[in-house]
Amino acid sequence: MKLNRWIRPAITAVILLLVVLYPIITFNASAPLLSTSAAPGGLHSFREIASSDSTFVSIISSPVVLNDVHVKEKNLYLGIGVSREITREEMAALSGFLTRGGNVLIADDSTGANPLLSYLLSGQNSSITFSGHRVLSEYNAGNPEMPLVNATLFIRSRGNMSTHTVVLNGATSLLIGGDVQIISRSNRSFVDYNDNGVVDADEKENAITMAMADVGKGRLLVISDPDMFTNEMIYRQNNSDFVKDIVADLANGGIVYCDDSLHSTAFTIAGYTIMVSTTYPYDLLSTSIILLISYIAVILVRDPEIWEHKYRPDRFIPRPEYNEERRRDLRWSARAMELAAKRNLTIEEAEQKMKSGRHD
């Protein structure tokens, strides 16, 4: 078998895989806040902590799947970092989840989640929004973007208060109104309203970084720093203990739904929104490798000449069935061409001489 019959298409397929998938995989590897990522910005350590007392489920499609969740026990939805626009359908699903008794935690450090908070708290006597201004420490001169704050949470399942000192990283401040419970504020930090990095006279205040509001039968907890949950930050100060108490209070042995689809790419085709989650490149790579191996195996096992076709400008004609009779005809033609070349004959003259000498 001639190797060049299959090496060329195989090399072409490998090059296409590298050119198309390498940028996607490279981007995905650096994407933060994924529940499966062990990178410094990933949530793998948090996943292990949450899984110790509750069932941990990753949402890779859309929070719309919560419409099918029957809230029997305390269930917790986690939106840690919002890097895309949340659709109205997804907002409605989260609102219904809260109304039925599920709990929702939204952690972000920008204003991207404000439309979701406005939707979830519409009709309620409460409001929580991200200000978009950084919370800086007055005392941590080396790294002012990592302030220490005291977080106090009432654990209903245990009936006691839990207070921890946690460290934040690049948090924004929260603006609250109405019937909202403040979970965390700090007199050792300030809100940098003019973004100049130093405390000014009008910036001396207790920065609010965590707040909670009742919505329907559920509760909405808002934290202004998603990095607190990352592998890099979760074991600093008392962050891990505070995270355990959050899961104990809001999940209480139920199911924790971590929404990885918030770090997805959404695009629309014919009016339908298609979600490509951050795990999609790995699935695509695995499928492509399987297809490539299958393609090469088929070419190696079968005679590649069976798959060849003769191309004509006016039509595409499959080769005749490749049986033993066809092989004899090809060998006959080859001998005729060889005889014609040696004796300077035409193909027809060579075939005539061969026929006259045949004994079959």
Please write the tens of the pLDDT for every residue from 160-202. Answer: 888 898 989 988 989 999 999 999 887 678 888 877 777 777 7
Domain 32-272 sits in CATH at: 3.40.50
Domain parsing of the chain, residue ranges: 32-272
What pTM did the predictor assign? 0.67
Q: Contacts by 67-73 with C-beta closer than 8 Å and gap 24+?
A: 67/93, 67/96, 69/97, 69/102, 69/255, 69/257, 71/97, 71/100, 71/101, 71/102, 72/254, 73/252, 73/253, 73/254, 73/255
Please write the tens of the pLDDT for every residue from 246-257. Answer: 998 888 888 899
Residue 161 exposed, middle or buried by CB count within 10 Å (0-12, 13-18, 19+): exposed
pLDDT computed for residue 28 by the predictor: 46
Q: Compute the C-alpha angle 38/183/202, nearest 5°.
A: 105
Phi, psi of 28 (to 5 degrees): -65, -35
Please write the tens of the pLDDT for every residue from 59-110. Answer: 877 888 888 877 765 789 999 988 888 889 999 999 999 988 899 999 998 8
Residues in the chain: 360
Please write the tens of the pLDDT for every residue from 306-325. Answer: 444 444 444 444 455 555 66
Closest CA to 95 of 68, 124, 119, 71: 119
Closest CA to 112 of 73, 86, 91, 141: 86
